[in-house]
Amino acid sequence: MPESPCLVIDLNRVRANYRALHAALPTARIRFAVKASPVPEIIRLLNDEGAEFDVASIGEIELCIAQGVDPAVMCYGNPIKKASQIATAYAAGVRRYAFDTEDDLERIAEHAPGSEVECRFLASAPASQTPFGTKFGCAPGEAVHLLVRANDLGLKVVGPYFHVGSQQLDPIAWKIGIEQAAAITEALAVKDIPVTAVNIGGGLPISYADAAPGIDELGTVIAHAAATLLPEHTHLVVEPGRALVGNTGVIHAEVVNVRTAPDGRRWVYLDIGRYNGMAETENEYIAYRFQTDRDADPMDEVVIAGPTCDGDDVLYQRTRVLLPTTLRAGDSVRILETGAYTASYSSVSFNGFPPLTVHVSGAERE
């Protein structure tokens, strides 16, 4: 086994996930959220499968181009970007941009003239496991105004865009978003501005310690809402990250120490923590599953912490996690369903610990 800690990605499972999503939403364009797992082999595989790519920075654009991705299938989906970044993306060949403010729209018009644009609005969806709050998205009524303004600026209006929050467990969230997108579409039609696509964002969940709705159930709700609410010939765009790669990765870690604290609670310290891969344990939003070679032994509750000197580098102290009572320093621990938002969240060198190493298994091409 490679050095610990490390993340191992199963490329065959990435491919299977992509094809399952395509089968569930056969008419939707699948745009991979590169931020979830910016691994070159994953990008090349999905490019071969026909995916598009949601990029959040110039670095992700350059990464995709280096893997042979045509900039024409990229969308600069981050609504927070400098004029210089828009200009650089446009020079690289990117011709689709998302925005949610008039300032950003005007920067796009100036530095990426004639490009296609999607306006992100804040959908009235139920809270997800890792919500965005109000950081992104304008009011739906404002989206109408901004898309009219985009048309006046000579940009090509694609349509409205929403995101129901990461790890969204309620399928009705997408129905609500599509209903609001349909109202925006109708308001634009009155002004003779056709909408060609509605971007329903990401947020498609996977099962961690608790089960999540399956892709078939989600696909049924989304497809029915689109068919009944949106004008004919309006395409869907879906931007999965976690749904394509989350269950494809396993982190291989090692126990550094086991301790009983003065309050009697047992603590297990791993060589991976909040700053080198486990960022999504913040607020214990995501409850990963653990495996060890001692799982046949008696189990008891533990607090799980990372290896740094930071007091916040604690993964789980409220979530009920059971690990073998015989666990000791040097034992291996496997953290399951860790293919998304682990290596990409890993810090450069906090406390001198290196970023999480990534290895792949399986074939990029069949």
- Interval 248-291: pLDDT, tens: 999 999 999 999 999 999 999 999 999 999 999 999 999 999 99
User: Which pLDDT score is estimated for 346?
Assistant: 87
Structure tokens at 24: 């569930």
Q: Is the pLDDT of residue 341 over 80?
A: yes
Rounded to whole angstroms, the Cα distance separating 251 from 200 reads: 30
Number of H helices, E strands in the chain: 9, 16
The model's pLDDT over 203-222, given as tens digits with 9 standing for 90+, comes to 999 999 999 999 999 999 99
Six token digits for residue 337: 């369903």
Residue type present at position 198: V
Q: Tokens standing for 301?
A: 């509750």
Q: Which helix (H) or strand (E) holds 358?
A: strand 357-361
The residue type at 226? A
Strands 96-99 vs 290-292: parallel, antiparallel or unpaired: unpaired
- Tell me the pLDDT tens digit for each residue of 150-161: 999 999 999 999
* pLDDT at position 366: 84
In whole angstroms, what is the distance from residue 239 CA to residue 30 CA?
A: 6
Q: Which of 82-86, 170-174, 295-299, 344-348 has the lowest mean pLDDT?
A: 344-348
Provide the residue ranges of all domains of the chain, joining segments of one domain with +.
11-246, 247-361
Helix/strand/coil for 142: helix
pLDDT of residue 180: 98
Separation of alpha carbons 343 and 351, rounded Å: 17
Q: Convert 212-228 to b/e letters by CB count within 10 Å (16 or more is b).
A: bbebeebbebbbebbee
Residue 127 or 292, more confident: 292
Residue 233: pLDDT above 70?
Answer: yes
Average pLDDT of the chain?
A: 96
Residues 252, 234: Cα–Cα separation, whole Å? 44
Torsions phi, psi for 76 (to 5 deg): -80, 90
The tokens describing 180, both together, are: 């609001």
CB atoms within 10 A of CB 140: 21
Would 11-246 and 247-361 be classified into the same CATH topology?
no
Q: What percent of the chain has pLDDT over 90?
A: 93
CB 34 within 8 A of CB 67: no
The H or E element containing residue 88 is helix 83-92
Rounded to whole angstroms, how far apart are CA atoms 112 and 88? 9
CB atoms within 10 A of CB 27: 10
- Please tell me the distance from the alpha carbon of residue 108 to that of residue 96, in angstroms, as a whole number: 10
Task: Give the H or E element holding residue 20.
Answer: helix 11-24
Q: Does the pLDDT at position 1 exceed 70?
A: no
Mean pLDDT for 114-137 is 94
Is the pLDDT at 348 greater than 90? The verdict is no
More confident residue, 346 or 281: 281
* pLDDT given for residue 73 in this prediction: 98
End-to-end CA distance of the chain: 25
- Per cent of the chain over pLDDT 70 is 99
State the DSSP H helix or E strand holding residue 250, giving kind and residue range, or none if neither: strand 249-260
The domain defined by 247-361 folds into: Lyase, Ornithine Decarboxylase; Chain A, domain 1 (2.40.37)
Coil vs helix vs strand at 183: helix
172-176, 201-205, 336-340, 351-355: the lowest-pLDDT one: 351-355
C-alpha span between 141 and 180 (Å, rounded): 10
3 — pLDDT class (breaks 50, 70, 90) = confident
Which helix (H) or strand (E) segment holds residue 12: the answer is: helix 11-24
pLDDT by residue (tens digit) across 33-80? 999 999 999 999 999 999 999 999 999 999 999 999 999 999 999 999
Contact 120, 135 (CB under 8 A): no
Does the pLDDT value for residue 347 go beyond 90?
Answer: no
Q: From 3.30.70.120, 3.30.300.30, 3.20.20.10, 3.90.550.10, which CATH number describes the 11-246 domain?
A: 3.20.20.10
Give the CB-side neighbour count of residue 166, counting CA atoms within 13 A: 16
Residues 6+ apart with CB under 8 A from 271: 4, 5, 253, 254, 255, 256, 307
- Sign for the CA dihedral angle at 148, 154, 160, 161 comes to negative
Whether the predicted pLDDT of 230 surpasses 80: yes
